[in-house]
């Protein structure tokens, strides 16, 4: 079976395999063979155009990989803004996200098989030599078992898989003698102590040198892990076992999967997000297909494909059935409670779920894959990237985007399944956006905030492992790749494992598997090869016809989130449920409905629980919306040319950059630097944007002093050395408690690290021009001309070198900072104000922009009856009492919520009992 290009036909014999594995192994091929069936409205793309785009991907990879190798290696990752390596312990801690870094040259290992896919065989040979020469797996570092498995073990195995393929071809890697596999085995043994729990679920972290138990280990006290963390091991561990003959790895990974299967919630067949590794109790009982669970499902299906073991397919199908019954609300995928699966657990989705359409393609369920992918694409078109989380009405919930590859992955698989050139156009947009918004002189920088376009000093290794592979393969024809990609399966990190492993060293396959799955009613399962006639029923415009009704789903969305049971009951005449956003404490009817909730029917109870949850979310959303969104400082002068965008805190006074055009000007430091008295260098700041240090007086006082000296704007730079927006939530600068209408210029706040980038640029280039705005602007077209692709490499390299000297001057001090992890990092906590400015600082979170928040029309601009009724109801009530503000609602709602506490406890007890 293959996940990639076309080839063998459906049901073609693979004699060594068990019959069912043969069926699954060819399933994706069957999808692939549909390529000729699915055509669409998008014009076909010529071979030349595809090649041009493929070459662009190669050039982008060179830019990312080249800068990593030149400026970061042997560090784990590149910091593309300061152009240096990220070495754990030498940078402020970012919390969980740093657990991927084990001082083992992560990016190099994660890039190995990408080099071969991209035809960079020579570079691959060099990279393998470097890994063998330089990488030490015995560091005293605590790492994530999950990340180390998918990125490092997977990277080594992918590298080994392609090294032996090349060796066999007879030209490259002739010296290779399984050295990467030996490293992989060494790493495998280092991870094994993590499985030393009664459940067999692994500890989430391990010390590479000291394991779990030793006193020096600094780990082993954790009690919980995420489902994906424990359930995403089987491909790498089984491959390691089958390559080496050491069965223990596959056995351990199987045991962990068996345990998770045992613990699934028996009536819904769903799993929660986190589980206690000792007791097996679900710790978080919400369930979706994104963060915390995603690759558990992926590995069940792919384990079946790679290992040919029916039990994995049965489990996958059971879960898939539950997912489609409860979580899939096309085009949305919404988390639900495992015990009350008709009840949504959230009103937002996370970016990791973007892999799911790709998995649905592998399963052969194309329609919902097309729908969800289309919805995600529209979110991307709105924000240039997929924000880490977005609400059911497509507002930004968490604004970061760490250059995740999941959407590119799904685009690739959908193209392979449908052959619809539309998906090539989607890929082209992804390439354009990466180059336009994420490319910086020294690599590609993650987006700190998709709304402002600001960057984060971060380029994760998965960007090289996955993004470039999927984008390159999307545009590649068979002859563009030096081996047959159909002979391999992609791991969750897009590492390639050969399918022939299914018939190698399979003695362990059945040893530890539970037999319980055989009792399941599997009469509805797809045991046969998906029929392309059903997938694309004689209609060349099949994919297009599914996308068409969704074409405006994001721009004109209707209110969402009603469970399907409730929706049906409402359609049959029942009164619409009371939604938190419509609730008014002054409305006696509402209070009456509230009292009834939970009392009569299960539908009322469901309404009640949803209402509580919505109320809590609404309350925090409202709080956020009262705060100003972050702003951007974009460096527009040479050699930055608008490519580096820093995230900045707004001020509650002065020019509001969201309402006015941006302010552009050269920067100058004020004297005194703290700006707390009349400036002694007015001639230097006149007509410029003044830089002022935080501290010693109020922000408004600083603003007045620079304004009096003739400055056209001001940037306050944090005096707390080493502070950074990577590790601390942004502030908004408040006034001084008096009237601040006299302050007319815009004022922004930068943490020390971001401020240093400007200060260092002044040292290096003297004239530094910046743009203060609410959203980064496109690069100056004139400057674009200087950077045509032909000269791009040179100009990039030159820029990179110039930047490196900036980075050397950026002196980050290791400091205590709030823990932050990528998907758990929504900055809820407020950064403490320093003593002198305390009264004038208020917190500014990464919030949705209130101006874009209230679109509530529907698909195709027309709401369904249900949605219309809800909307009308809401509008009428708002009209009838226009003066009721959120502030007035808060108190009664709080007290009403307090009354619900008992019910919440009862609900939680009920959940426990059901376990
Ligand atoms: C990758 O490391 C893997 O795909 C993982 O399964 C989750 N997502 C990240 C990239 O977003």
453-469 core/surface letters (b: 16 or more CB in 10 A; e: else): bbbbbbbbbbbbbbbbb
Query: What pLDDT score was predicted for residue 124?
Result: 98
* Candidate list 3, 77, 98, 147, residue with the active-site label: 147
Q: What per-residue confidence (pLDDT) applies to 587?
A: 73
CB count within 10 Å of CB 621 equals: 21
**Nearest-CA residue for atom 3 of ligand 1:** 493
Going by the DSSP 8-state scheme, the letter that residue 3 receives in this structure is S
Ligand 1: atom nearest CA of 402 is: 11
More confident residue, 715 or 28: 715
- In angstroms, the CA 286 to CA 284 distance is 6
Torsion of CA 734, 736, 739, 745, to 10 degrees: -60
User: Ligand 1 centre and the CA of 117: distance in Å?
Assistant: 19
The finding on whether 493 has its CB within 6 A of some atom of ligand 1 is yes
Distance 63 CA to ligand 1 centre (A): 22
Tokens of 362: 């592998």
Q: How far is the CA of 235 from the centre of ligand 1 (A)?
A: 15
Give dist(CA 289, CA 250) in Å, integer. 25
How high does pLDDT run on average in the chain?
A: 79
Q: How far apart are CA 177 and CA 171, in angstroms?
A: 15
Compare 621 and 296 and report the one with higher pLDDT.
Answer: 296
Task: Report the alpha-carbon distance of residue 846 to residue 829 in Å, rounded.
Answer: 11
Q: What is the pLDDT of residue 449?
A: 96
Q: Which two tokens stand for residue 307?
A: 């290992």
- Tell me the pLDDT band of 895, cut-offs 50, 70 and 90: very low
Any atom of ligand 1 within 6 Å of the Cβ of 509: no
**pLDDT band for position 8 (cuts 50, 70, 90):** very low
Concatenate the DSSP letters of all residues of 506-534 into one string. GGGTTTT--SGGGGS--TTS--SPPPHHH
Q: Is the CB of 404 under 6 A from ligand 1?
A: yes
Q: What tokens were used for 427?
A: 């890929």
- Dist. CA 296 → ligand 1 center (Å): 12
Dist CA 177 CA 173 (whole Å) = 9
Q: Among 406, 614, 769, 774, which one carries the catalytic annotation?
A: 406
Retrieve residue 650's tokens.
């707004």
Helix then strand then coil, in percent of the chain rounded to 5, is 50, 10, 40
Contact 688, 665 (CB under 8 A): yes
Percent of the chain with pLDDT over 90: 61
Q: CA distances (Å), 317 to each of 304, 313, 417, 825, in order?
A: 11, 6, 20, 32
Ligand 1 within 6 A of 148 CB?
no
Nearest CA to ligand 1 atom 10: 404
Instruction: Give the model confidence (pLDDT) of 762-792 as tens digits.
Output: 998 889 999 999 888 876 554 444 443 333 3
pLDDT digits 0-9 by tens, 515-542: 444 444 545 545 444 444 445 544 657 8
Query: What pLDDT is attached to residue 868?
Result: 35
Judge whether 294 counts as a catalytic residue.
yes
Shortest CA distance to 697 belongs to which of 861, 834, 492, 885?
834
From the CB of 295, is ligand 1 less than 6 Å away? yes
For the stretch 224-270, pLDDT in tens is 999 999 999 999 999 999 999 999 999 999 999 999 999 999 999 99
Looking at 403-522, list the stretches that DSSP marks H as alpha helix, in order from N- to C-terminal side.
406-418, 422-433, 461-462, 468-475
Q: How far is CA 345 from CA 232, 727, 784, 885, in A?
A: 24, 28, 46, 27
pLDDT at 618: 64
Quick: pLDDT tens for 428-473. 999 999 999 999 999 999 999 999 999 999 999 999 999 999 999 9
- Upstream peptide bond of 26 is cis (omega within 30 degrees of 0): no
Kindly report which listed range (62-76, 139-153, 589-603) carries the lowest average pLDDT score. Answer: 589-603
Q: Kindly report which listed range (321-325, 339-343, 500-504, 557-561) carries the lowest average pLDDT score.
A: 557-561
Task: Indicate whether 807 pLDDT > 60.
Answer: no
8 A C-beta contact, residue 380 and residue 394: no
Q: How far, in Å, from the CA of 151 to the mean position of ligand 1?
A: 9
pLDDT digits (tens, 9 = 90+) for 30-54: 333 333 333 347 889 999 999 999 9
Q: What per-residue confidence (pLDDT) applies to 401?
A: 98
Within 10 Å of residue 195's Cβ, how many Cβ atoms?
25
Q: Is it the case that residue 170 has pLDDT exceeding 70?
A: yes
Q: Is the pLDDT of residue 799 over 80?
A: no
pLDDT confidence band for 857 (50 / 70 / 90)? very low
**Structure tokens belonging to residue 683:** 């001639």
Place of tokens 């082209």: 428
Instruction: Judge whether 420 and 45 are in contact, CB under 8 Å.
Output: no
207 CB within 6 A, ligand 1: no
Cα–ligand 1 centroid distance for 492 (angstroms):
6
Q: Please give the sequence-ordered ranges of beta strands (E in DSSP) within 608-750, or none if there are none.
A: 631-635, 644-648, 663-669, 689-693, 713-717, 731-733, 747-750
Residue pair 300/312 in contact (Cβ under 8 Å)? The answer is: yes
Q: CA-CA distance, 78 to 82, in Å (whole number)?
A: 9
> Tokens standing for 609?
């629980």
Using the 8-state DSSP alphabet, how is residue 344 labeled?
A: B
The pLDDT, as a whole number, for residue 219 is 93
Sign of the C-alpha dihedral, residues 201, 206, 208, 210?
A: negative
* Residue recorded with tokens 């990639």: 4
Residue 630 CB partners (closer than 8 Å, separation 6+): 449, 451, 452, 454, 647, 648, 649, 650, 730, 844, 846
C-alpha 629: how far from its chain's center? 21
Q: What are 155's two structure tokens?
A: 């990277």
867 an active-site residue? no
- Which mutation among 158, 298, 462, 470 tests ligand 1's pocket best, with the greatest number of atoms within 8 A of CB? 462
Of 136-145, 404-413, 739-748, the range with the lowest mean pLDDT is 739-748
pLDDT at 812: 23
Side-chain half-sphere CA neighbours of 739 within 13 A: 2
593 vs 405, more confident: 405
Catalytic residue among 314, 388, 409, 607: 388
Q: What is the pLDDT of residue 583?
A: 67
- Res 739 pLDDT > 70: yes
Residue scoring higher pLDDT (7 or 586): 586
**Measured over all CA atoms, what is the biggest interatomic distance in the chain, rounded to whole angstroms?**
86
Q: Which phi-psi region, left, alpha or beta, contains residue 146 (left: φ > 0; alpha: ψ -120 to 50)?
A: alpha
Residue-wise pLDDT tens digits, 550-606: 888 887 654 444 444 445 544 555 566 666 656 666 677 777 777 666 555 655 666
DSSP 34: G
Residue with tokens 């949850």: 613
The beta strands (E) that lie in 138-260 are given as 142-144, 205-207, 224-226
> In the Cβ-directed half-sphere of 243, how many Cα atoms lie within 13 Å?
28
Name the residue with the closest Cα to ligand 1, atom 8: 352
Name the closest-CA residue to atom 1, ligand 1: 493
Contacts of 349 (CB under 8 A, 6+ apart): 288, 290, 332, 333, 334, 335, 389, 390, 391, 392
- Give catalytic status of residue 147 as yes or no: yes
């Amino acid at each position: 079976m293959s996940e990639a290009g076309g080839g063998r036909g459906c049901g073609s014999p693979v004699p060594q395999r068990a019959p069912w594995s043969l069926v699954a192994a060819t399933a994706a091929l069957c999808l692939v063979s549909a390529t000729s069936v699915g055509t669409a409205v998008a014009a076909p793309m010529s071979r030349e155009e595809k090649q041009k785009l493929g070459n662009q991907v190669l050039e982008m990879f060179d830019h990312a990989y080249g800068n990593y190798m030149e400026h970061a290696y042997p560090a784990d990752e590149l910091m593309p803004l300061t152009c240096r390596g990220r070495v754990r312990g030498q940078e402020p801690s970012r919390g969980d996200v740093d657990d991927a870094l084990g001082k083992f040259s992560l990016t190099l290992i994660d890039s190995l098989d990408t080099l071969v896919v991209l035809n960079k065989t020579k570079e691959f040979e060099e990279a393998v030599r470097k890994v063998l020469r330089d990488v030490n797996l015995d560091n005293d570092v605590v790492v994530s078992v999950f990340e180390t498995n998918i990125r490092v073990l997977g990277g080594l195995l992918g590298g080994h898989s392609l090294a032996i393929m090349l060796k066999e071809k007879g030209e490259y890697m002739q010296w290779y003698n399984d050295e990467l596999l030996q490293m992989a085995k060494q790493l495998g043994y280092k991870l094994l102590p993590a499985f030393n729990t009664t459940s067999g679920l692994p500890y989430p972290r391990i010390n590479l040198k000291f394991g779990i138990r030793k006193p020096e280990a600094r780990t082993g006290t954790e009690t919980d892990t995420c489902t994906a963390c424990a359930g995403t091991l089987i491909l790498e561990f089984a491959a390691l076992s089958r390559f080496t003959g050491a069965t223990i790895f596959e056995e351990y990974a199987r045991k962990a999967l068996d345990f998770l299967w045992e613990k699934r919630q028996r009536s819904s067949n769903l799993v929660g997000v986190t589980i206690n590794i000792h007791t097996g109790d679900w710790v978080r009982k919400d369930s979706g297909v994104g963060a915390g669970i995603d690759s558990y499902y992926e590995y069940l299906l792919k384990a079946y494909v790679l290992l040919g073991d029916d039990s994995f397919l049965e489990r996958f199908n059971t879960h898939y059935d539950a997912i489609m019954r409860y979580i899939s609300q096309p085009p949305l995928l919404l988390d639900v409670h495992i015990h009350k699966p008709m009840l949504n657990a959230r009103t937002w989705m996370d970016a990791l779920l973007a892999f799911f359409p790709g998995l649905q393609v592998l399963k052969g369920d194309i329609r919902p894959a097309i729908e969800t992918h289309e919805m995600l694409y529209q979110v991307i078109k709105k924000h240039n990237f997929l924000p880490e989380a977005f609400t059911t009405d497509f507002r930004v919930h968490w604004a970061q985007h760490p250059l995740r590859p999941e959407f590119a992955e799904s685009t690739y698989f959908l193209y392979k399944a449908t052959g619809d050139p539309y998906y090539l156009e989607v890929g082209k947009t992804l390439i354009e956006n990466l180059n336009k918004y994420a490319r910086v002189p020294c690599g590609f920088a993650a987006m700190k905030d998709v709304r402002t376009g600001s960057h984060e000093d971060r380029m994760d290794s998965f960007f090289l492992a996955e993004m470039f592979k999927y984008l390159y393969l999307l545009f590649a024809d068979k002859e563009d790749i030096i081996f047959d990609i159909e002979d391999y399966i992609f791991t969750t990190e897009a590492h390639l494992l050969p399918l022939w492993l299914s018939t190698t060293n399979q003695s362990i396959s059945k040893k530890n598997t539970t037999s319980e799955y055989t009792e399941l009613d599997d009469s509805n399962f797809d045991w046969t090869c998906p029929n392309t006639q059903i997938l694309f029923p004689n209609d060349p415009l099949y994919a297009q016809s599914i996308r068409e009704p969704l074409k405006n789903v994001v721009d004109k969305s209707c209110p969402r989130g009603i469970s399907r049971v409730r929706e049906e009951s409402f359609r049959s005449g029942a009164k619409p449920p009371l939604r938190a956003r419509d609730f008014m404490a002054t409305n006696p009817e509402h209070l009456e409905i509230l009292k009834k909730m939970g009392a009569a029917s299960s539908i009322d109870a469901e309404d009640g629980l949803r209402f509580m949850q919505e109320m809590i979310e609404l309350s925090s959303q409202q709080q956020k919306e009262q705060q100003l969104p972050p702003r951007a400082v974009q460096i527009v002068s040479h050699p930055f040319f608008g490519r580096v965008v820093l995230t900045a805190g707004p001020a509650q006074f002065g020019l509001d950059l969201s309402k006015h055009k941006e302010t552009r000007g050269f920067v100058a430091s004020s004297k005194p630097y703290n700006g707390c008295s009349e400036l002694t260098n007015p001639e230097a700041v006149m007509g410029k944007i003044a830089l002022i240090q935080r501290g010693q007086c109020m922000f408004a006082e600083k603003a007045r002093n620079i304004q009096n000296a003739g400055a056209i704007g001001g940037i306050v730079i944090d005096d707390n050395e080493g502070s950074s927006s990577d590790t601390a939530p942004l502030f908004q600068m408040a006034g001084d408690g008096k009237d601040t209408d006299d302050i007319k210029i815009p004022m922004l706040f930068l943490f020390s690290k971001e401020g240093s980038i400007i200060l260092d640029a002044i040292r290096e280039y003297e004239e530094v021009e910046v743009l203060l705005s609410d959203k980064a602007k496109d690069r100056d077209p004139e400057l674009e001309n200087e950077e045509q692709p032909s000269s791009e490499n040179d100009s990039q390299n030159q820029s990179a070198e110039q930047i490196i000297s900036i980075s050397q001057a950026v002196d980050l001090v290791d400091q205590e900072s709030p823990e932050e992890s990528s998907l758990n990092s929504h900055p809820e906590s407020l950064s403490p104000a320093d003593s002198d400015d305390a009264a004038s600082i208020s917190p500014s979170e990464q919030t949705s922009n209130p101006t874009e928040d209230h679109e509530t029309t529907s698909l195709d601009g027309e709401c369904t009856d249900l949605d219309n009724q809800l909307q009308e109801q809401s509008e009428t009530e708002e009209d009838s009492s226009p003066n009721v503000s959120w502030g007035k609602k808060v108190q009664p709602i709080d007290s009403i919520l307090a009354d619900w506490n008992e019910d919440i406890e009862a609900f939680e007890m009920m959940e426990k009992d059901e376990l």
